[in-house]
Chains A and B, each alone.
Chain A
Amino acid sequence: MSDHSGAEPAERPTGVPHLSRGDFGLLILGLISRREMYGYEIVAELRATTKGTIDLPEGTVYPALRRLERDGMVVGHWVEVGAGAPRRRYYRLTLDGERALTEGREEWRLFKVAADTLLEPS
């Protein structure tokens, strides 16, 4: 898979296939493409959407977000929450991010088809 920039997951739960930096970045792009999200929300959404299959150390998402931001795939902005809560940094996709996501999806689809073909019981 191509490298879309992300953090190497620091630790991975037993039984979860290895997730590369690029794949992790792609997953984040996929989530943010639905709506603007902040780090905590991304982690929670990732966990909920995959029904816990992808359950990474929560801090892992921040280096990945910084890489995506550095590469112009996402852009972050602060939002005040109020009531004594720390403000949140929301991220949204850029045009480059949308393009990378489209390319990444296609690459992933091809990879999945190939892998399914190989792993199909004979």
Chain B
Amino acid sequence: MTELTPAERLRSHAERILDRTSVRERDREELVEELYGHLWQRWQDGIGAGLSGDEAADAAIAGFGDADRLGREMTSAYHSRLYASTIGVLLPAVAGSSDRPYGYGRSRALVFLTGFFTLVGGAVVANAQTPFRLLVSVLALLLAFFITVLAYRALARRQRWALVYVQVLALAFVAGWIVECVVQPVQVSLLGIVALVVLDAVFRKDLSLWVGSSRRTGKLLGVVIVVAVLLPYVPLAVGAVPDPTQASPADLSITVRADCTRTGGAVAGGTVTATIRWARTDFLPNGFRPDMARTDLIGASSASSLQFDPGANGLPFPRGLEDGVVVTGNWTMVDAETGLPADAGVLVFSGSSFFDVGVVEDAIDPGSIQANRTYRASLGFISQRSTGLPDDPIFRVRYDHQGRWGAEAFATCTRSGVGQPVTTPVQPPSQFP
């Protein structure tokens, strides 16, 4: 058998230590090199001190420590690296770690995913909010994201608040998923699934012991944690908060009048005119992106609209071609002074044909409206029936502000009407006011 040189013995010792570990091959090569470097320098010092090569190698190996114990320590130092793998982010580590407790990887995965989806949600919200609500939403989401980053790091530092945060997160996501499934069965929620997997681990003793030496979480911090978990839901709730940058029903006045012509006492035709004036208009009416109006999360409507609706809700006005009533002209909102249209160039007829007297709707471009200017829309109607129309037909004019709020006014041939705020989506009134 060939005798090993001192240098070979040193390398062999380094490898023997690593043989007792389960570190990855790439790490192993570097570690062997590092340990060998240490032994080599100790060997050189021994030779410099007058020892023979073998004596110096013996001294270097003896001074390095017990190979078994060093191997175990090295394994312990390396194992939790498995959590860094891609699968380890989503699932618990395949191999256990001697110093990271059960559930640690899952908990951090939940926090990671929460942070990720908070950012994604923020990007979606930024496209579809009015300015003030957008500001509130973005601040809330940034704060929520910041807290997930803190919690992700704090959990590694064994801080108790981070574990409480994960516990509340897991409970909230599982509860939210259950509610979703009740409302609409068979909902798949990635966060819900991960939370369910995490739920088991975060309430076991392992993680509690892991953070046991850190400061206790007081009531105040508990409240802060709950608020932090709820922060990503702010964009959904902010719709209920009035946006001071946006016009409100109080800023709009609508008056409607009907000028009727009569034949033998019966109404034969006439003109319905709506006069509209805004005291204030929306700041950035189309949002930060031109298509906000079509993607607004708050309201379902695609745009503002002005509706001409004779005989609304079964009120006495003949509808349908057989009644022989036709409308004349275009129901278009125009600037009263300049005559320029303020609509989006889209007329929507909900009747079966142009000649039916149905709901006529004019889509309004919010960006073309100016405050303190008067706008008008009018439409003529003619009865071709020999008996004419009922004595006092009712006309309704309705304004819908991007599905967020609305106003409506009623008029008859004998009485003008003033707009009143209505909730949106605008519902037909149960009776004539």
Interface residues of A (CB under 8 A from B): 2-3, 7-8, 10-11, 38-40, 43, 56-60, 62-64, 66-67, 70-71, 85-89
Contact = CB atoms under 8 A, between A and B. Distances in A.
A64 B77 CA distance: 7
Given A8-B73, A10-B70, A62 B31 contact: yes
B74 A62 contact: yes
Interface in B56-73: 63-66, 69-70, 73
A120 B33 CA distance: 48
Contacts of A38: 37
16 contacts: A10-B66, A10-B73, A11-B65, A39-B34, A58-B38, A59-B38, A59-B64, A60-B65, A63-B70, A63-B74, A64-B77, A66-B77, A70-B80, A70-B81, A89-B33, A89-B34
B70 to A, nearest CB: 5
Please tell me the size bucket of the interface on B: 20 to 34
B26 to A, nearest CB: 13
A10 B64 CA distance: 10
Interface string B10-35: 00000001000000000000110111
A66 B78 CA distance: 7
Contact of B38 (A10, A39, A56, A71): A39
B187 interface: no
Contacts of A43: 38
B85 interface: no
Nearest to A67: B77
A89 B41 CA distance: 13
A30 B64 CA distance: 22
Contact of A40 (B37, B76, B81): B37
Contacts of A70: 77-78, 80-81
Contacts of A40: 37-38, 41-42
A10 B76 CA distance: 14
Interface of B: 17, 30-31, 33-38, 40-42, 44, 63-66, 69-70, 73-74, 76-78, 80-81, 156, 158, 213
A39 B30 CA distance: 13
B140 to A, nearest CB: 28
Nearest to A1: B213
Contacts of A59: 17, 35, 38, 64-65, 70
Contact of B156 (A64, A66, A71, A87): A71
B151 to A, nearest CB: 16
B70 A85 contact: no
Contacts of A67: 77
B198 to A, nearest CB: 22
Contacts of B74: 62-63, 66
